[in-house]
Chains A and B, each alone.
Chain A
Amino acid sequence: MNAISRDTAIDWRHVGTIDDIPAQGARCVRNGAMTIAVFRTADDRIFALEDKCPHRNGPLSQGIVHDGCVTCPLHNWVISLETGAAQGADEGRTASFPIRLDGRDIYLNLTA
Chain B
Amino acid sequence: MTKQKLVIIGNGMAPGRMLEHLFDLAPDAFDVTIFNAEPRVNYDRIMLSPVLSGEKSFDDIVIHDDAWYAARNIALHKGHKVVAVDRDARTVTSAGGITAAYDKLVVATGSNPFIIPVPGHTLPGVLAYRDLDDVEGMTRAAAAGGRAVVIGGGLLGLEAAAGLKAQGMDVTVLHLMPTLMERQLDPAAGYLLQKELESRGIEVICGANTKAIHGQDKVEQVELEDGTLIDASLVVMAVGIRPNTQLARDAGLEVQRGIVTDTAMRTSDPDIFSVGECVEVDGRVYGLVAPLYQMAKVAATHLSGASDTAFAHAETPTKLKVTGVNLYSVGEFGDGPGFEDIVLRDANRGTYKRIILKNNKVIGTVLYGDVADGTWYNEFLKSGEDVSALRDTLIFGQARQGTGTADPLAAIANLSDDAEICGCNGICKGTIVNAIRDKGLSTLAEVRAHTKASASCGTCTGLVEGVMALTLGDQFAKKAEGMCGCTDLGHGDVRRLIVAKGLKSIPAVMQELEWKTSGGCAKCRPALNYYLLSDWPGEYRDDQQSRFINERVHANIQKDGTYSVVPRMWGGMTSSDELRAIADVVDKFNIPDVKVTGGQRIDLLGVRKEDLPAVWEDLNKAGMVSGHAYAKGLRTVKTCVGSTWCRFGTQDSTGLGIKLEKFLWGSWTPAKVKLAVTGCPRNCAEATCKDIGVICVDSGYQIVYGGAAGLHIQGTTELGTVKTEEEVIEIAGAMTQMYREQGFYLERIYKWAERVGYDTVKAAILDDLDSRRAYYERFVHSQKFSQSDPWSERVSGVDKHEFKPLAVFGDAPATIVTEPAE
Q: Which residues of B contact A78 (CB under 8 A)?
A: 522
- A14 — which chain B residues lie within 8 A by C-beta? 814-815, 817
| A-chain residues with CB within 8 Å of residue B439 when the two chains form the complex | none
- B800-816 CB mask vs A (1 if < 8 Å, else 0) is 01000111111000111
The chain B residue with its CB closest to the CB of A26 is B806
Contact of B519 among A4, A8, A11, A67 (CB under 8 A): A67
Min CB distance, B484 to chain A, in Å? 10
The verdict on B633 contacting chain A, using a C-beta distance below 8 Å, is: no
Inter-chain contact B806/A10, CB cutoff 8 Å: no
**In whole Å, how far is A26's beta carbon from the nearest beta carbon of chain B?**
9
A residues 1-44 in Cβ contact with B at 8 Å: 2, 4-5, 8-16, 20-25, 27-33, 35, 38, 41-42
A63 to B526, CA, bound (A): 12
B-facing mask of A44-80, CB < 8 A → 1, else 0? 0000000000001111001111110001011010100
Q: A42-B518, A64-B546 are in contact. Are A13 and B817 (CB under 8 A)?
A: yes
Q: Is B99 an interface residue (CB 8 A)?
A: no
Q: Bin chain A's interface residue count.
A: 35 or more
> Is B549's beta carbon under 8 Å from chain A?
yes
Shortest Cβ distance from residue B737 to the other chain A in the assembled complex, whole angstroms: 27
B809 touches A24 (CB 8 A): no
Q: Are B821 and A8 in contact (CB under 8 A)?
A: yes
A110 and B809 in contact, given A64-B548, A67-B521 (Cβ under 8 angstroms): yes
In-complex Cβ contact of A13 among B520, B546, B801, B815 (8 A): B815
Interface centre among B520, B544, B807, B814 (most CB of A within 10 A): B807
Within 8 Å by CB of B522, from A9, A23, A29, A63, lies A63
Q: A11-B816, A63-B549 are in contact. Are A32 and B809 (CB under 8 A)?
A: yes
- Whether B559 lies near A8 (C-beta < 8 A) is no
Instruction: Kindly supply a per-residue 1/0 record for chain B positions 537-571, scoring 1 wherever the CB is within 8 Å of any chain A CB and 0 otherwise.
Output: 00000001111111011000101010000000000
Residues of A close to B547: CB separation below 8 A: 64
Min distance, Cβ A98 to any Cβ of chain B, angstroms? 10
B740 at the A interface (CB under 8 A): no
- Choose one: B520, B526, B806, B814; the contact of A27 (CB below 8 Å): B806
Q: Is the CB of B518 within 8 A of A67?
A: yes
Please tell me if the beta carbons of A15 and B817 are within 8 angstroms of each other in the complex.
no
A30–B341 Cα distance when bound, in Å, is 70
Q: Please encode chain A, from 87 to 112, with 1 for each CB lying within 8 Å of some chain B CB and 0 for all others.
A: 00000000000000000000110100
Q: Does B820 contact A (CB under 8 A)?
A: yes
Q: B772 interface residue, CB < 8 Å from A?
A: no
User: Could you tell me if B519 and A29 are in contact, using CB atoms closer than 8 angstroms?
Assistant: no
Cβ of B517 within 8 Å of any chain A Cβ, yes or no, is yes
Residues from 149 to 196 in B contacting A, C-beta threshold 8 Å: none
- Taking A64-B526, A66-B519 as contacts, is the C-beta distance between A29 and B806 under 8 angstroms? yes
Structural contact, B817 and A23, CB atoms closer than 8 A:
no
Q: Looking across the interface, which residue of chain B has its beta carbon closest to that of A59?
A: B561
B522 touches A66 (CB 8 A): yes
Please state if B806 and A21 are interface contacts (CB–CB under 8 Å): yes
Residues of B within 8 A of A2 (CB): 820
Contact B805 A67 (CB under 8 A): no
Q: Give 30 A-B contacts (CB < 8 Å), ordered by A residue.
A: A5-B820, A9-B819, A12-B816, A13-B815, A13-B816, A13-B817, A15-B807, A16-B806, A20-B806, A22-B544, A22-B545, A22-B801, A24-B519, A24-B545, A30-B805, A32-B809, A32-B810, A33-B810, A41-B519, A59-B561, A62-B553, A63-B549, A64-B521, A64-B545, A64-B546, A65-B545, A66-B519, A73-B548, A76-B522, A78-B522
A residues sitting closer than 8 Å to B (CB atoms) are 2, 4-5, 8-16, 20-25, 27-33, 35, 38, 41-42, 56-59, 62-67, 71, 73-74, 76, 78, 107-108, 110
By Cβ-Cβ distance, the 7 closest A-B pairs, closest first, are A71-B522, A27-B806, A32-B810, A24-B545, A62-B549, A15-B807, A64-B522
